[in-house]
Structure 1
Amino acid sequence: MLNIGFIGAGKIADLHAPGYLANPDARIYAVADNGPGIAEARAAEWGAEKAYTDYRAMLDDPAVDAVEVLTPHSLHAQMVVDALDAGKHVSLQKPMAITLDECNAIVDAANNTDKFMRVFENFAYYEPIVRAKQMLDDGVIGEPISMRMKTVTGHRKHGWDIPDASIAWRFDQSINGVGKAILDYGYHIFAMGRWFLGEPEQVFAWIRTSYTQEGYENDSPLLVAWSYEGGKTHGSWEQQASTEMVVRSDYYPGDEWFELSGTRGVIWVNRCTAKMLYDTPPLTYYADGEMSRVTEDEINADWGNSFVQCVNEFVYGILEGRQPDMTAEDSRETYKFARASQLAASENRPVTLSDVRD
C-alpha cells in the first residue's frame, strides 16, 4: 500500500483525489496546505491520517512514499526538489515550472535520485484521445499529415464554482508564469501535439489580448502553428476566450476538440473537458470512404476519468518499478514548446525549441 501525501489541497485536488480513493493499492495518507483549516478539512474528507500546514514537515514523515504537488506554479520547482531530496516519488501538476532554470533544476534533481518523478498530464489518459492515438498508430487513416486542435473558454458561471483567489493567482505572472493561455492551459495542448506526432521542428504564433469577466488580461485569441521533424507533417492550435460564450461543463468552462488527418482519412475527438458538442459522439472517424462513430456506450468520455487513469499510471509505475509517463526531461520539452510559441509571436518569426533561453 502506497502512502500518498498531497502538497496543496485546492480545487484541482477534487480531480486528483478520486483516483487514489478508488485505488486498492494506494491511499491518501497525509495532506499539507498552508491555508487556514484546509489540510485538516481535506484530511477528514479523504480519510487521511495526517494534516500539515508546512509541506516540509510532511516530507520528514518516513511513512509518506510519494507526493502529489498541486500548488501554484511558482512553488513547483522548490517543492519537487525538496520532495526528491527527501526520498519521495513525485507527481507534479502541470506546468512543471515557470522558468527554464526551474525546469532544469527539477530535471537535475530527478536524475540524481532513484525515485520517480513525473508531470501529471491527464489528457494522455482521456479515453477518446487514447483510442484516437491507437488508431493513428495502427494506420487506420494511413500516414499522418496534420493535427489541428481548437480550444474555447467561456464565462466561468457555466462550469465549476472556482474560488476567486484561484482565478486571481492564475493571472499573476509572478505566480502563474507569463501566459495564462499559453503556459497554463496550453501546456496540455503542447503535450498532446508532441504525444501524437513527435517533436516540433519550427514554431510560429500569433498571440493577441482579451480580458476576462474579472478584468484580467488574457493571452487569447491565439494561433500557433508548427512543423514536425522531417517537415512532412504539421500541427496547429487555435484558442479563443469569450465572456459571452456558454460552455456547459461539469468541470472547467472550456472545451477542446482535435482533428487528425492522414492519407486515407480523418479522426475527430469531439470534446474533452466540457460538452459543447453534446449531441455528437466523443470520437468519430472517416477512413477509406466510410464514416464511423464511437459512442459513450463504447468509450468513457468523462474527462474526470482521465485523472483517475493518470493516477493509476503513477501508482503502478512505482509499484512495478518502472518510470511513469511524462518524465521531467520530456516535460521540459513541452515547456520549451510553449515558450517557443511566445518567442515566435514576440519576434514575428519561426523559431525552434533550441531558441528558448529563459
Structure 2
Amino acid sequence: MADKIRVGMIGLGRISTLHLPAYDQSQNQSQNINAELVAICDKNKKRLKEVAQEFNIPESNCYTDYGDLLKQNTVDAVEILVPHHLHAEITIAAAKAGKSISLQKVPAMTLSEMDRMIKAAQENSVHFRVFENFRFHEPYMKAMAMIETGLIGKTERIDYRMYGGFQALSGWKVPLKSSAWRLTEKDNYKSPTIFDDGYHKHSVISWMLQESIDSVITWQGKYNIKVAGIPTPIRLDTPFNIIYTCKNKAHYATLSSSTHDFFPMHSDYYSCDEYMDVIGEKGAIFIPGCTGSWFKNCEAGPGKEGVHWCTADGKWHSDTSMNSDWAQSFINCSKDFIEGIRTGKQAQLSPEDARYILQIGLDAVKSTRENFREVKLKEITDGI
C-alpha cells in the first residue's frame, strides 16, 4: 500500500464540495488524514476541470466513465457520490476491482440491493462502509460519549426536529435540476426528506436510543414549492412527524420536519438546521444546531451550538468548545474511513448497521403510503 491512501471520487455534485476538503493537502497535517485524491469521475466535464485544477489532478486521471477509473491500479479506495439507484451497480464493480469503498447514504433503494453489495465486498475482501457524517458531528459525538458513560442513564426518549426554509437569510442556492432526481419514485421514492435526508436522522436516533426500533409511524402533511418558470407547484414530503417505537413502549423517539417559504436562519450549507433532546433515566441532553447556523452565537432561548445537559442533581452544564461546523463532520467521517483501511477496523457505518438504518427509512416511507399506520420493521423484507 502507498504511503498515502490513494482515493478516487466518483460523482462531483453539490455534496462533493464537503467531501473534497478531507483530501486538501494543505489541510491534511492539521486534520491528520493520510490520504490524497488522485482520480475523479463525473459526466460534467466543466466540473471535472474545476476539481482537477483545484487538486492538481492530471487530465489522464479525470474520467467520465467510472469503469475507467476503477481500472487504475493507482487508486486504492473510492468515494461514491452518485444518486441512490446507481449505488449497487458502482459499488459491486468497485468491490470486484479490489477497491476499498465509502458509499454516500442512502446506500440502496432495497434491502436486496444492499445485500448484493455486502456480498460483493465480502467475496472480494474489500473494506466497505456507508458514509454517514452526522455520527461524526462533534456535538453529537460528545453527547453519545456522555450517553455511553451512563451520565443520564438509559435513553428513554429522543425528540429530533428539523427546520427548513425555501428561502433563508443565507444558504446554498441549489439548482432544481441538480436535485430533481430526489423527487422521483425510481431514484428516491419521492422522499427527499423522509428517505434521503432522513437517513441521517434515522441513523442518529437509532444510535442514541440504544435499543432496537420495533416499528415506525409516519404522519405526512402537504407543502408545495412555487418555482418561477414552472407552472405546476412542486410537492415536497414535508411536513412530517415520525414516531419510532421500541418493544418497551415506554421508550421511543420522534422526528419532525417542516419546510417554510421563509425561515430566519443563516447557513453556510443547506438552509435548514436541527435541534435534539435526549431524555434519560436521570438526566437530559440538549443539542442545538447541526447543518445550519441558526443557533450560532445564540445568547438567549435554546442556547449556542454545542451540548447542554442537566444531571440527576438538577444542575445545568454546557460545552460549546467543540467544532460545531457541519463541514467538520465530513472531514471526521473521511478520517474514519482512511483509518479503517489502514488498521482493518470497520469504519462507520458498517454494512450491517447501514442495512438496518435503510430498513427504518423504508419503513417510514411505507407508513406514509398506508394511511399513516404503524409499520413493523419486520414487514420490510426488500423495498416498499
Letter in 1 for 2:317: S
Partner Cα distance (2:264, 2:184) in 1:
25
Q: Secondary structure at the match of 2:304?
A: coil
Moved more, 139-148 or 100-109: 100-109
- Whether 2:364 is the aligned partner of 1:351: answer no
Q: What's 1:207 paired with?
A: 220
Query: Of the candidates 55, 70, 87, which is equivalent to residue 76 of structure 1?
Result: 87
Q: Secondary structure at the match of 1:243?
A: strand
Q: Which runs of 5+ in 1 are unaligned?
A: none
Task: Please say if residues 164 and 273 of structure 2, whose CA atoms lie closer than 8 Å, have aligned partners that are also in contact.
Answer: yes
Q: Percent of counterpart pairs with the same letter?
A: 31
Structure 1 stretches of 4+ moved >4 Å: none
Moved more, 318-327 or 224-233: 224-233
Task: Please say if residues 16 and 81 of structure 2, whose CA atoms lie closer than 8 Å, have aligned partners that are also in contact.
Answer: yes
1:242-296 residue CA offsets vs partner (Å, 9 max, x unmatched) = 122233101111111110001222101100011222302221111121111212x
Moved more, 175-184 or 90-99: 175-184
Partner Cα distance (2:248, 2:80) in 1:
37
Q: What's 2:357 paired with?
A: 334
Q: What's 2:245 paired with?
A: 227
Q: What's 1:253 paired with?
A: 271
Q: Quote how far apart the aligned CAs of 1:112 are.
A: 1.8
Task: Please say if residues 155 and 208 of structure 2, whose CA atoms lie closer than 8 Å, have aligned partners that are also in contact.
Answer: no
Q: Quote how far apart the aligned CAs of 1:103 are.
A: 1.9
Partner Cα distance (2:154, 2:208) in 1:
13
Equivalence map 1:264-303=2 (5 Å): 264-278=282-296, 279=298, 280-282=303-305, 283-287=307-311, 288-295=313-320, 298-303=321-326
Q: TM (normalized to structure 2)?
A: 0.89
Moved more, 19-28 or 334-343: 19-28
1:28-85 residue CA offsets vs partner (Å, 9 max, x unmatched) = 0000111133223211212224111111000000110000001112211111111111
Q: Quote how far apart the aligned CAs of 1:168 are.
A: 1.9
The alignment yields a C-alpha RMSD, in angstroms, of 1.6
Partner Cα distance (1:319, 1:286) in 2:
39
Equivalence map 1:43-58=2 (5 Å): 43-49=52-58, 50-58=61-69
Task: Please say if residues 155 and 247 of structure 1, whose CA atoms lie closer than 8 Å, have aligned partners that are also in contact.
Answer: no
Task: Please say if residues 91 and 120 of structure 1, whose CA atoms lie closer than 8 Å, have aligned partners that are also in contact.
Answer: yes
Q: TM (normalized to structure 1)?
A: 0.95
Query: Of the candidates 237, 242, 245, which is equivalent to residue 260 of structure 2?
Result: 242
Equivalence map 1:1-358=2 (5 Å): 1-21=4-24, 22-23=27-28, 24-49=33-58, 50-156=61-167, 158-197=170-209, 198-214=211-227, 215-278=233-296, 279=298, 280-282=303-305, 283-287=307-311, 288-295=313-320, 298-347=321-370, 348-357=372-381, 358=383
Q: Which runs of 5+ in 2 are unaligned?
A: 228-232
Q: Secondary structure at the match of 1:160?
A: coil
Task: Please say if residues 213 and 243 of structure 1, whose CA atoms lie closer than 8 Å, have aligned partners that are also in contact.
Answer: no
Letter in 2 for 1:179: S
